[in-house]
Amino acid sequence: MTQITKVLVSKDQLQQRVRELGAEISRDYAGKELVLICILKGGAVFMSDLMREITFPVGIDYMSVSSYGASSTSSGVITIKKDIDMDIRGKHVLLVEDLIDTGLTLQHLKELFALREAASVRICTILSKPSRRLVDVPIDYSGIDIPDEFVVGYGLDYAEQFRNLPEVWIVETRD
């Protein structure tokens, strides 16, 4: 049985942190050509909120990668399911993620955008599980640290459900 039991991060906490991150990004990239690249599907909700907190025009694009199969543990293997449409050579890229767990997905994507000759590649995530990290990938804009629990909501799913919850919830699976 799968159930969502408890709110881990409230709507207000998310909104406040997104505002702060937006302000920080706006300061850091002032005068530069910035492209936000959302990692689908989980990043979509955060991306929509974050872009509206940035105070100058930005380019946006979307990419879909899979690092998780049916199970809820990382395989360490990443496949590009949908690539961006834009040519990002010479542009400043900010990868927008829902959650950084092992760090493997982002490490791989950072290398990919460096190969594509982006002017710079940074990472922004709304959630992070520092205790789960397997690779030491620097997170330039990190929203909220959470414990090692499987979570849903604010874009994150369990079997494609719960993405539309406005808060982040803890999932419990029992037999």
24's contact among ligand 5GP, Mg ion, none, with CB below 5 to 8 A by partner kind, is none
Q: Which is nearer to Mg ion, 58 or 63 (CB)?
A: 63
163's contact among ligand 5GP, Mg ion, none, with CB below 5 to 8 A by partner kind, is none
How far apart (Å, rounded) are the C-alpha atoms in residues 160 and 111? 28
SS3 91: coil
74's contact among ligand 5GP, Mg ion, none, with CB below 5 to 8 A by partner kind, is ligand 5GP
Using CB under 6 A, which of 37, 151, 165, 168 touches ligand 5GP? Answer: 151
> DSSP letter string over 94-142?
EEEEEEESSSHHHHHHHHHHHHTT-SEEEEEEEEE-GGG-SS----SEE
Does the footprint of Mg ion cover residue 167 (CB under 5 A)?
no
- Joined together, the tokens standing for residue 5 give 């039991």
- The DSSP code for 89 is T
Is the separation of the CB atoms in 128 and 100 below 8 Å? yes
> Which residues from 153-172 bind ligand 5GP, rule CB under 6 A?
156-158
**E strand or H helix that includes residue 4:** strand 2-9
Residue 142 neighbours by CB distance under 10 Å:
18
128's contact among Mg ion, ligand 5GP, none, with CB below 5 to 8 A by partner kind, is none
Residues linked to residue 4 through DSSP beta bridges, in sequence order: 171
Q: How many residues bind ligand 5GP (CB under 6 A)?
A: 19
Using CB under 5 A, which of 35, 84, 93, 98 touches Mg ion? Answer: 98
Nearest to 59 by CA among 82, 39, 85: 85
Using CB under 5 A, which of 4, 21, 38, 42 touches Mg ion? Answer: 42
28 is catalytic: no
> Which residues from 44-103 bind ligand 5GP, rule CB under 6 A?
67-68, 74, 97-103
Q: Which is nearer to ligand 5GP, 119 or 132 (CB)?
A: 132
Q: Active site residue: 61, 101, 136, 140, which one?
A: 101
Q: Which residues are catalytic?
A: 101
